[in-house]
Copies of this chain bind each other. A is one copy, B any other.
């Protein structure tokens, strides 16, 4: 037997060798040796079209499914595209329905339609129906095949019925953790764990065993909300029902995990002030990275350009007291840092459902109190710093008052924006550190020079 530990091991066979050996056994061996999924993706991504086509000839349904499921959908689609259409169709047919749909979604027409045409009619119909739901809906990611029993069945009848139907289902135990109880019209009545069914007394009725207190989602529920629902309730699947409470399918736990991971990655990228890559990082070209990043950089540059106008307006002040300029990066940097801390914490708390718009008063109160504490601390640090730069007592007072005011202002902006964006149905994750920093830079400088005007005797005449 082979026990595989998730450690970094030196693979002794690579995909090129496998293709050279040219037997399906070599693929099995490769899958056994290269257990690290990023490694698999790496090697697969490095193959040419011709090599991918050869690979297709070596795949049977078992190792083909394992290979395709261990890489991202995009790469799987790319591999399928290069293969003989009959081989590709047979692999698609062997995949679980939700995974097959995820991969087909990455294929453009007419390639997608060409593959669907090669599938058994019934199978193609099911996949087309999944593909017709909006990509961000729960229904687009569900497994349409479910195991159902009737409430008036005895346990032994139900087990027999499950046994009959399960052999026809392609999905593995993902779809059989729960057996759903429906009436003849597919209306969802309850759920019973497959385990409970098997372990129960054989003459009991299903209706006595089932739970009728169900968490369900609608087909158009946002996929992230549906995934969050499944995960926060520790469920293995969540049923998708239509407006009449008819069972359409289930969202499985592994699909929910994929959805949540993808969303967390997109949020992280947005939070860093970039558009989501939508491609694994190592496969993103410099041109793609440039395109995803430069839009926000230019927007922020344009917004930040305003600081030049502010500084030009106050150039007389800087010429009078050049020491004022020394503190510009320090003041706006501290303001940006404070705001970034708050915005990232808050955006994450909102993404996990911990904080909602209605919590906004509590958030503002909390952040303003914290802002006062942080402001006092940073003002003290500023006194020390100004003293060591030897800029005299007046500038020291100006700088420390300014840092406190800027911290408070930045706290307010960072606590205010994410919930408001959420309310406006925008993604709060676009409130990135860079965005907060940019907002605080220009406005922070205005605060600084206004305070300088009030506190510095040299500036009284200006």
Query: B328 contacts A325, CB within 8 Å?
Result: yes
Any chain B CB within 8 A of the CB of A189?
Answer: yes
Interface residues as binary, A261-281 with B (CB distance below 8 Å gives 1, 0 otherwise)? 100110111011110010011
| Interface of A: prevailing SS | helix
Inter-chain contacts of A281 with B (CB < 8 A): 345-346, 349, 354-355
Interface residues as binary, A317-329 with B (CB distance below 8 Å gives 1, 0 otherwise)? 0110011011111
Any chain B CB within 8 A of the CB of A424?
Answer: no
Q: In chain A between 376 and 434, which residues have their CB closer than 8 angstroms to a CB of chain B?
A: 377-378, 381-382, 385, 389, 432-434
Any chain B CB within 8 A of the CB of A146?
Answer: no
Which residue on chain B has the smallest CB distance to residue A332? B329
Give the shortest distance, in Å, between A306 (CB) and chain B (any CB).
9
Q: How far is the CA of A172 from the CA of B244 in the complex (A)?
A: 30
Query: A177 contacts B188, CB within 8 Å?
Result: no
Query: B341 contacts A216, CB within 8 Å?
Result: no
Any chain B CB within 8 A of the CB of A460?
Answer: no
Query: A215 contacts B6, CB within 8 Å?
Result: yes
Any chain B CB within 8 A of the CB of A284?
Answer: yes
Query: B190 contacts A173, CB within 8 Å?
Result: no
The residue from B216, B286, B342, B349 contacting A373, defined by CB atoms under 8 A apart: B286
Beyond A173-B193, A366-B284, whether A328 also contacts B328 by CB under 8 A is yes
Binds B, one of A77-85, A118-126, A228-236: A228-236
Any chain B CB within 8 A of the CB of A445?
Answer: yes
Any chain B CB within 8 A of the CB of A374?
Answer: yes
Can you report 30 residue pairs joining A to B where beta carbons are below 8 Å apart? Answer: A1-B190, A2-B212, A3-B216, A8-B356, A38-B356, A166-B195, A166-B199, A173-B196, A194-B195, A265-B348, A281-B354, A281-B355, A282-B355, A284-B366, A289-B370, A290-B370, A290-B377, A293-B338, A293-B370, A294-B373, A296-B337, A298-B381, A307-B326, A308-B327, A308-B385, A308-B389, A309-B389, A315-B322, A433-B433, A433-B434
